[in-house]
Structure 1
């Protein structure tokens, strides 16, 4: 018999294959658009950086505006049909842009080209806000057990990291040798492959249908609607927010993610300056920084399932936060390029394990009827925290802390390394908070999906055990989270 490649199970393997192809296509597409805008549409223009930032802003607007509401529709709709229709919509959008791109560049004003790019990116990411929660909901039924769910999350993150290692190097040759049209067409074909792979999945009826095939547990007994009566969009969204806010476990996970984003957001914004100033390296070596983090992300993603199996998801969460914070502090003290590369690689491993460990916790805490809305609250809030962290760190480094310099006990410090060190301390404190706030009743898994103690409960009972009584009166508003993927994304 010819051996077949199977990851966890057959249906998850098909879902993963569709994600893998689509992720490479997305990486090629995103890189191509940025290069095209910067080197063709806005070539030699002073506003070129602003034009490129518009691509990023379009994606962020889709996440923050459409994301919170998308979960309501995902909870209403058939999950598998949602995935398939989303791929059709995204593929069609890219095909339309591809067809228009066959026109000569000077056939349309630059402003029209940019508008087409921004609108396409906005609609693509808006569609993605329906795809991600639907995939999350189906994944919960295709993959059982914390270890397998963590492994699935790790494989997903490793796939995303690999896509961003493979995709960008493909984008530049496609753009400059073959043309923008063929780079866009590559992404359109990736959606077609993803559609075929997802269509072949055999999803349990309870996973695909609205409410998981069960009566939807309302946030409160008084909120229950008469049979056959559809509540309003606003009402269902409010039900999801109330459910989230009354779940101590979900609130704790959200706070951990938000604190982590504020602790780590500085790295993505300021690391290029840290490389050239503190590590005394040429700017052209900065690509190796991203490569080290990518390899570290893949390593952490692939080992995350095993770590969760050994330690349990909750213990893995707070340990990963503590280790990541300490390593970020150590990185802030580096003065050599090789030392910085090595520490960034090691730092990214527990950071990715953290994202892997949080995935099964989220899946367990979200009942089928609320999975879409749980993700529609969690992801946009974490995205917003990441954006605020990036803006705050840039503002601190560029204004408030510009003149910070000195030494203490022979240890020199400046503005950027100080921000990194403080960020590391914040991450360590979030690890202490996770250690104290997350329940400590978990026993590490003995095998693939087998647990002892409370974590061995069936999915529905386990979700109930992780949340407060949803029929109880709502607590004071001050107890609700004020504001993070990959996910690890991410993607």
Structure 2
């Protein structure tokens, strides 16, 4: 570890062989560390906000609505700003963009510190400040995230794209597990103020680590074109036309939309399916929820070799086909043991597919378009997930309420039927990808 830290700080002063612990290379290691620390802080912050808002409105009927407001405040900027952010990401130096966004996010998060203490403010004012900060931080993330994905073209060799994506996605799964686990403990033991401070500190760490990257070429490629609304819209249309005219990108956009919609249904109904359909005690809910994440980590470890052997497009399509089948197959029996195995296999397959999205985009997109492509993909998938969240809750509570289909061995209720529909959507996405990618061979 001492040699590892030495190489990051002073690569030329370290003994030979000390760089072997690096992830791909020094630049990517710094990017990975900064992103992982920042993601842990984000998850901790988001979970803490839900607990904080829920506590502020404890035993009040509007509490669920207020908590959902946090999610809405984070989602809206992705839908409204995401596509336009890609235009600027393509214009600006990626490293500088990431650092500016980290600095601004750290300052904004720190602005919540005064209201996290005993400052005598009306509840409505506190909630308004929380929503505004969440929305602006999310808006800044729309610039940071595509810049972080686009900069891979400058810091990672092309043959290492899949490995880099696997490490990044695996870090995201790990960050979610650590952040969500620590959120409740941190909030109860230390209070909201410490969670806010920790998230701000994570942005500062990311700012420092990204600044240590040596991406000199990126700093000289800022666009000199005038920034006007007309020009921005023109460049946005150019990006959309490029996606529409490229078979691989067009296929990924539709397939990821179907996957996000289907997986959004599964995620929203997970609590009800686990506790009501397969009758898992509340004390074991966290274990069942963590199983797909464990499978996801296994998926990230296996995907590099699989892609090298069978091809990235083939593995991507097959993973979604398998995931769709497993979502349906594990839903019908309503058996806890079967679901544990099914959830693990689903996690492996879906994470393999998600790891390969980044490399497939990078390989198909010229550098001057990467920001717009990633931003468009992020916006479309966010919209699909958002619609799935709303529609699945609405349909299960209205159109399918009380609907039961009796089978010889069991019965299917609204949650089962929606899960089956989600699996079919994911399978259709994989089938579409398989057919379209064959045209590229």
TM-score, length-scaled by structure 1: 0.82
Q: Does 1:6 align with 2:22?
A: yes
1:157 to 140, 154, 169: 169
Instruction: After superposing the two structures, state which structure 1 stretch, 339-348 or 378-387, moved more.
Output: 339-348
Deviations 1:10-66 (A, max 9, x none): 110110000111111111111111111111x21221111111111100000111111
2:146 to 125, 133, 136: 133
Deviation at 1:229, TM superposition (A): 5.9
1:142 to 138, 155, 168: 155
1:35 corresponds to: 51
Deviation at 1:346, TM superposition (A): 1.4
CA RMSD of aligned residues (A): 2.0
Deviations 1:110-152 (A, max 9, x none): 0111111111101111000000111121112211235x21221
Deviation at 1:289, TM superposition (A): 1.8
Q: Report the CA distance shift for 1:313/1:337 in structure 2 as closer, same or farther (over 3 A).
A: same
Q: Does 1:259 align with 2:258?
A: yes
1:199 corresponds to: 211
Structure-2 separation of matches of 1:141 and 1:175: 39
1:67 corresponds to: 82
Deviation at 1:100, TM superposition (A): 4.2
Does structure 1 conserve the Cα–Cα contact (< 8 Å) formed by 2:262 and 2:426? yes
Instruction: After superposing the two structures, state which structure 1 stretch, 183-192 or 173-182, moved more.
Output: 173-182
Structure-1 separation of matches of 2:196 and 2:427: 43
1:393 corresponds to: 392
Q: Does 1:121 align with 2:134?
A: yes
Instruction: After superposing the two structures, state which structure 1 stretch, 431-440 or 83-92, moved more.
Output: 431-440
1:468 corresponds to: none
TM-score, length-scaled by structure 2: 0.91
Q: Which residues of structure 1 form unaligned runs of 5+?
A: 212-226, 443-491
Deviation at 1:387, TM superposition (A): 1.1
Deviation at 1:390, TM superposition (A): 2.1
Alignment of 1:13-24 (within 5 A): 13-24=29-40
Deviation at 1:433, TM superposition (A): 1.5
Does structure 1 conserve the Cα–Cα contact (< 8 Å) formed by 2:38 and 2:199? yes
Does structure 2 conserve the Cα–Cα contact (< 8 Å) formed by 1:153 and 1:359? yes
Deviation at 1:236, TM superposition (A): 1.7
1:375 corresponds to: 374
Q: Does 1:26 align with 2:25?
A: no
1:112 corresponds to: 125
Does structure 1 conserve the Cα–Cα contact (< 8 Å) formed by 2:115 and 2:121? no
2:238 corresponds to: 239
Does structure 1 conserve the Cα–Cα contact (< 8 Å) formed by 2:247 and 2:436? no
Does structure 2 conserve the Cα–Cα contact (< 8 Å) formed by 1:313 and 1:358? no
Structure-1 separation of matches of 2:293 and 2:219: 33
Does structure 1 conserve the Cα–Cα contact (< 8 Å) formed by 2:96 and 2:219? no
1:101 corresponds to: 116
Q: Does 1:79 align with 2:79?
A: no
Structure-2 separation of matches of 1:78 and 1:68: 18
1:334 corresponds to: 333
2:178 to 162, 166, 183: 166
Deviation at 1:202, TM superposition (A): 1.0
Alignment of 1:399-414 (within 5 A): 399-408=398-407, 410=409, 412-414=411-413
Structure-1 separation of matches of 2:402 and 2:188: 43
Structure-1 separation of matches of 2:336 and 2:431: 31
Structure-1 separation of matches of 2:226 and 2:341: 59
Deviations 1:451-488 (A, max 9, x none): xxxxxxxxxxxxxxxxxxxxxxxxxxxxxxxxxxxxxx
Deviation at 1:301, TM superposition (A): 2.0
Structure-2 separation of matches of 1:204 and 1:152: 20
Deviations 1:61-96 (A, max 9, x none): 111111111111111111111011111101111122
Say which structure is richer in helix: 2
Does structure 1 conserve the Cα–Cα contact (< 8 Å) formed by 2:38 and 2:202? yes
Deviations 1:309-332 (A, max 9, x none): 222110011110111011111111
Deviation at 1:204, TM superposition (A): 5.0
Q: Which residues of structure 2 form unaligned runs of 5+?
A: 1-14
Deviations 1:182-211 (A, max 9, x none): 111111111111111100111151586247
Aligned to 2:81, what secondary structure does the other structure show? helix
Deviation at 1:375, TM superposition (A): 1.4
Aligned to 1:281, what secondary structure does the other structure show? coil
